[in-house]
Structure 1
Amino acid sequence: MDNYWRFEMADYASRLPELLLAILVLIIGWIVAKIIEKAVFNLLKRTKWDNKLLGQSDPNTKRDRKWSSEKIISKIVYLFVLLFVFIWFFNLLNLTILAGPLAEMLSTILSFVPQLLKAALILLVAWIVAVVLKNIIQRIGKSQRVSQALKKSSFITNDQQLFSIVDQVANVVFYLVLLVFLPGILSALSIEGLSGPFSNMLQDFLAFIPNLLAAFLVVVIGWFIAKLVRDLVTNFLQALGIDQWARKLGLNKLTESNPLSKIVGYIVYILILIPVIITALEQLQLDGITEPAISMLEDVFTMIPNIIMAVILIIAGIYIGRFVARFVSSLLKNVGVDSFIHQLNIRTNRFSLSSLIGTLTQILIVFLFTVEALQLVELEFLVTIATGVLAYVPNVIAAVLIVGAAIIIGGFVERIVSSILTGDLQILGVISKYAIIALSVFMALDQLQVAQSIVQLAFMLILGGVALAFGLAFGLGGRDFAAKYLIKLDKRIEKTSVTKQTPSTFTQEDDDNHQDGFTPPPTI
C-alpha cells in the first residue's frame, strides 16, 4: 500500500513541471492575446476605420455606439489567439479529450480564413469604390458652378442647403455601392442561403434603377421646361398689359396677392407638369401603382379645359349680372317705381325696390351661368339640384308678385274706404286691407305648392267662418231692421198687380199709377 502511494506521488511530481509550464503558457498567452487585441483596436482607431466604413465625413463626430467595428474586430482577434493558447495549454497537460475539439474548431476556422480573406478583399474594394464615388459627388456638388446654377434656378437658397443635399446624395451612393458588392461578399463566405435571395433582390433593384433614372430625368427636364414657359408667359402677359386690364375690369380683389399675369403663368406651369408626371410614372413601369395614378391625372388633364370654361362662364355671369342689375335698377328708378312705392306709404328705408329687383336679377343670372358651369364639369348631382331650384324660381316670382300686388291693392282699398267712411267705420278700411293681404298669402302659398290641400282647406274654413259670423251678426243684431224692411216689401207687393201689357195699350189703373208717379215693374 505504501509503495502504491509512493508511485502515485512520484508520478505527480514528475508531471509538476508540465503543469507549471502549461499554466505559464496560459498566462503568457492570455497576456499576449490582450496585447494583440489592444494593438489591433488602437491601429484601427488611428486609421478611423469605423468612420470611413460608415461614411462619416466629420472625424470629430462623437460615436455613442456600444460596439464599434474596431472593438468587434479586435475582440475577434483576441478570441482567436486565446483559442490557440487553450489548445496549446491542453496539449501540454495531455488532455486530448479537450484539446481535440478545440483543435478541430481551430482547423475549421483556419480553413475558413481564405474565404474570409476573399470576402475582406471584396469588402475593401467595395469600400474604396464607395469612398471614391462619394468624394467625387461631394466635390462636384459643392463646386461653385453647381452652386451658382442651382441658385439661379431657385432650387436652393443658400450654400448650407446645397451642402446638406449633396452630403445626403453622397451617403446614399456610398451605401448603394456597398449593397452592390454585398452579394459577392456573402458568396465568398459560402453563405448561399442568404446570398441567393439577396442577390435576386439586388438584381431586381438594379434593373429598376434605369427606370428610376429615366423618370427622374423626365421630371427634371419637364420641370425646367415648365418653369421656362411659366416665366415666358408671365413676362409676355405683363408686356401686353394684362395686369392693367385686370385693374380696369375690377379684378383687383381676385388678384390682390399675385397679379393676373403671374396667376396665368402658374396655371400654364401646372398644365405642363401634369403630362410630365404622367410620362415619369409610365417610365417606372409599376403598373399596380402607376395605372391608377396615370388614369386619375389623365382625367384631371381632360377636365382642365372644361374647368377653365366653367370658371370663365361664372366670371362672365358675375359681370353680366352686375351690368343687367344696374340697367334694371336704373330703368325701374326712371320709370318711377320707387316714388310709386313711396306714395303707397310702404316704408323701405334700408333699400329701394329698384335696387332689390336689380340684385335679385343679378343673383338669377349668376345662378343660370353657374348651372351651365356645373353642366360643363359634369357634376350631374349638383346640376339636378340646381335645375330643380331653377324650375321653382317662377313659382317664387309669382308668389312675390301676388303678395306685392295685394299689398299695393290693399293700401289703395284702405285709402278709398277710409275716405268714404267716418268715425269708427274707418276700421273697415284696415280690415279690407289685411283681408286682401291674407287672401294673397293663401294664393302665394298655393303658388309655392306648400301643402296645397292644407292651405286650401284652411282658406275654405276661414272664408266659411267669416260668412257664418256675418250671417249670425246680421240675423241676430239686425233682426228689427230686417223685419221692418220685409213689412214694407210685403205692402208694396200687395199694391202691385202683375199683368201682361203691350207698349201701345194703357188701362185706367195704369193711368192712375202714372199720375201718382209710380211705374210698375215689367211683367215677367
Structure 2
Amino acid sequence: MTAILDATRFAFESLWMSFADFLPVILGALVVFLVGWAIAIWLGRLITLILKTIKLDEVLEKTGLGKILEQGGAKIEVANWIGLLVKWFFIFVFLMASTDILGWSDVTGYLNTVVSYIPNVIVAAVIVIVAAWAAGVMQKIVAAAAGAGQAKAGAFAAALTKWAILIFGLMAALSQLQVAPGLIQTLVTGFVAMLAIAGGLAFGLGAKDQAGKFIDTLRKEISE
C-alpha cells in the first residue's frame, strides 16, 4: 500500500514540476503575443491614418480605379485595406515568435510561410494601383493626342491603351502572387499576339488606300 501511495505521489510531483517549469514559458509566450497584438493594432491604425491624411483614396479615385472596382461590384477603401494588412502582418509575426518560444516548430514554420507571402500581396496590390493610375493617365494622353478631327479613332486607341495596361498590370500582379506561373506566361504571350494582330488589321484596313497609292507610285517610278 505504501509503495502505491509513493508511486502516486511521485507521479503528481513530477507532473507539478513539469507544469511549474513550463508555466513561465507559457506566460512569456502569452505576454509576447498580447504585446504584439497591441502593437499590431496601433501600427495598423497609424498606417491608415497616414494614408488618409495624404488622401490616398481620393488620388486613386481620380485615376479611375474606384470606378473599375465599382463596376466589378466592389467598394474598397485602400487606406483601410492597407492598414488592415499591416496589422495582420505584425500579428502573424508576434504569433510566430510566441510559437517559437513554446517550441512548436511545425506551427512556426507554417506561420513563417504565411508571413513570407504577405509582402507578395502588398507588391501585387501596388502593381494594380500603379497600373490603374498609368492606364488612366495614358488614356487621357492618347485621347488628347488624337485631336478633335479623329475623335472616334482616338477614343478607340485610348480605350485600347487603357485596357492593355490594366490587363498587363493584372497579369503582373497574379505573377507576383505566384498564381499558376505557366498559365500567366501563356496568357501574356496570347495577349501580346492579339494586340499585334489587332494592330496589324487596324493599320491594314485603315491605310489600305494609302498603301495602294504608294505601290502604284513605286511601280510607275520603276517602269520609267
Q: Give the TM-score range, shorter chain.
A: 0.7 to 0.9
Distance, in Å, in 1 between the alignment partners of 2:186 and 2:221 is 44
Distance, in Å, in 2 between the alignment partners of 1:493 and 1:364 is 72
- Which of the two has greater helix per residue? 2
Distance, in Å, in 2 between the alignment partners of 1:320 and 1:418 is 48
> Could you tell me which residue of structure 2 aligns to residue 307 of structure 1?
26
Q: 1:469 to 1:434 in 2, by over 3 A?
A: closer
User: How far did 1:296 drift?
Assistant: 4.8
- Asked if 1:363 is matched to 2:92, the reply is no
User: What SS is found at the alignment partner of 1:285?
Assistant: helix
User: How far did 1:402 drift?
Assistant: 1.0
Aligned amino acid, residue 380 of structure 1: S
> Could you tell me which residue of structure 2 aligns to residue 286 of structure 1?
7
User: How far did 1:301 drift?
Assistant: 2.6
User: How far did 1:458 drift?
Assistant: 2.2
> Could you tell me which residue of structure 1 aligns to residue 37 of structure 2?
318
User: How far did 1:490 drift?
Assistant: 7.4
User: How far did 1:486 drift?
Assistant: 4.2
- Asked if 1:460 is matched to 2:189, the reply is yes
Deviation per residue, 1:307-359 (Å, 9 max, x gap)? 11111112111221222223222222232323312322443895532222222
Find 1:447's aligned residue among 172, 176, 185.
176
Distance, in Å, in 2 between the alignment partners of 1:492 and 1:331 is 69
> Could you tell me which residue of structure 2 aligns to residue 405 of structure 1?
130
Deviation per residue, 1:145-183 (Å, 9 max, x gap)? xxxxxxxxxxxxxxxxxxxxxxxxxxxxxxxxxxxxxxx
- Asked if 1:334 is matched to 2:61, the reply is no
> Could you tell me which residue of structure 1 aligns to residue 78 of structure 2?
353
Find 2:209's aligned residue among 480, 487, 492.
480
Q: 1:488 to 1:476 in 2, by over 3 A?
A: same
Distance, in Å, in 1 between the alignment partners of 2:21 and 2:103 is 12
Distance, in Å, in 2 between the alignment partners of 1:493 and 1:330 is 73
- Is the 8 Å Cα contact of residues 33 and 95 (structure 2) preserved in structure 1? yes
Normalising by structure 2, what TM-score?
0.79
User: How far did 1:491 drift?
Assistant: 7.5
Distance, in Å, in 2 between the alignment partners of 1:323 and 1:475 is 60
- Asked if 1:424 is matched to 2:143, the reply is no
Deviation per residue, 1:263-283 (Å, 9 max, x gap)? xxxxxxxxxxxxxxxxxxxxx
Q: 1:492 to 1:379 in 2, by over 3 A?
A: farther
Distance, in Å, in 2 between the alignment partners of 1:294 and 1:429 is 79
User: How far did 1:297 drift?
Assistant: 4.3
Distance, in Å, in 1 between the alignment partners of 2:42 and 2:56 is 20
Distance, in Å, in 1 between the alignment partners of 2:222 and 2:117 is 60
Aligned amino acid, residue 386 of structure 1: L
- Is the 8 Å Cα contact of residues 139 and 161 (structure 2) preserved in structure 1? yes
Distance, in Å, in 2 between the alignment partners of 1:329 and 1:490 is 69
Q: 1:492 to 1:447 in 2, by over 3 A?
A: farther
User: What SS is found at the alignment partner of 2:103?
Assistant: coil
Q: 1:476 to 1:433 in 2, by over 3 A?
A: closer
Aligned amino acid, residue 471 of structure 1: G
Q: 1:342 to 1:474 in 2, by over 3 A?
A: closer
Alignment identity in percent?
26
- Is the 8 Å Cα contact of residues 57 and 79 (structure 2) preserved in structure 1? yes
Q: 1:471 to 1:333 in 2, by over 3 A?
A: same
Distance, in Å, in 1 between the alignment partners of 2:137 and 2:77 is 20
Q: Decide which structure has the larger Cα Rg and report it.
A: 1
User: How far did 1:299 drift?
Assistant: 3.5
- Is the 8 Å Cα contact of residues 131 and 169 (structure 2) preserved in structure 1? yes
Distance, in Å, in 2 between the alignment partners of 1:493 and 1:299 is 101
User: What SS is found at the alignment partner of 1:449?
Assistant: coil
Q: 1:468 to 1:378 in 2, by over 3 A?
A: same
Distance, in Å, in 2 between the alignment partners of 1:449 and 1:479 is 44
Distance, in Å, in 2 between the alignment partners of 1:439 and 1:351 is 21
User: What SS is found at the alignment partner of 1:418?
Assistant: helix
User: How far did 1:489 drift?
Assistant: 6.5
User: What SS is found at the alignment partner of 2:111?
Assistant: helix
- Is the 8 Å Cα contact of residues 32 and 98 (structure 2) preserved in structure 1? yes
User: How far did 1:472 drift?
Assistant: 4.1
Distance, in Å, in 2 between the alignment partners of 1:378 and 1:285 is 32
Q: 1:476 to 1:408 in 2, by over 3 A?
A: closer
Q: 1:490 to 1:340 in 2, by over 3 A?
A: farther
The residue correspondences of 1:175-254 to structure 2 (distance < 5 A) are: 204=1, 207=2
Q: 1:298 to 1:330 in 2, by over 3 A?
A: same
User: How far did 1:300 drift?
Assistant: 3.2
User: What SS is found at the alignment partner of 1:450?
Assistant: coil
Q: 1:453 to 1:352 in 2, by over 3 A?
A: closer
Distance, in Å, in 1 between the alignment partners of 2:65 and 2:130 is 12
Find 1:382's aligned residue among 99, 104, 107.
107
